[in-house]
Amino acid sequence: MPLEIERQFLVRVRLLPALEGGRRIEQAYLSASPEVRVRMIDDKAYITVKSDGSITREEYEYSIPVEEARSMLRLTPWFPILKTRYRLPLDGHVWEIDRYDAENEGLWSAEVELASEDEPLELPLWLGDEVTQEGRFKNKNLAQMPFATWPDRELFVAVIRG
């Protein structure tokens, strides 16, 4: 069974090194539990199914035809997630840094995949608070309750602007 083990953090944008080669991502959720996501990255498309959980989850991802993905993106009852993803190799890990747009504009987060939940991890200075255990930062929840609607949004924006 394929497992995804990852941690998620807010990003202090002003402390980030220069980022290059960002890839545009559009994704939509067809189900929240289990999580069923359709994603477009450049000219490729995927459907992903993930189990519930916070750090470790089962994950199944398959390539699908782009035209079918475009049709599926319209099936969601929630907001699409639009973001630009940057990949930053650092200390033997690859950090995926997401800058969100549209209803989630202003939010920046970073995720890192690990080999185990207790794997030692050197945290870069540009990371803010860890939000792995905070469900509202999961993309499936941002689709249902976007960052722009959070009453305490400005507290997080202050951290992100750092």
- By annotation, the residues acting in catalysis are 29
Amino acid at 103: E
Matching residue, tokens 């639009």: 82
Tokens read off for 62: 């398959």
Q: Burial-class residue 97 by CB neighbours within 10 Å (0-12, 13-18, 19+).
A: buried
CA distance 77 to 14: 35
Transcribe 21-75 into DSSP letters. --EEEEEEEEEETTEEEEEEETTEEEEEEE-S-SSEEEEEEEE--HHHHHHHHTT
CB count in 10 Å sphere of residue 65: 9
- List the beta bridge partners of residue 86: 97
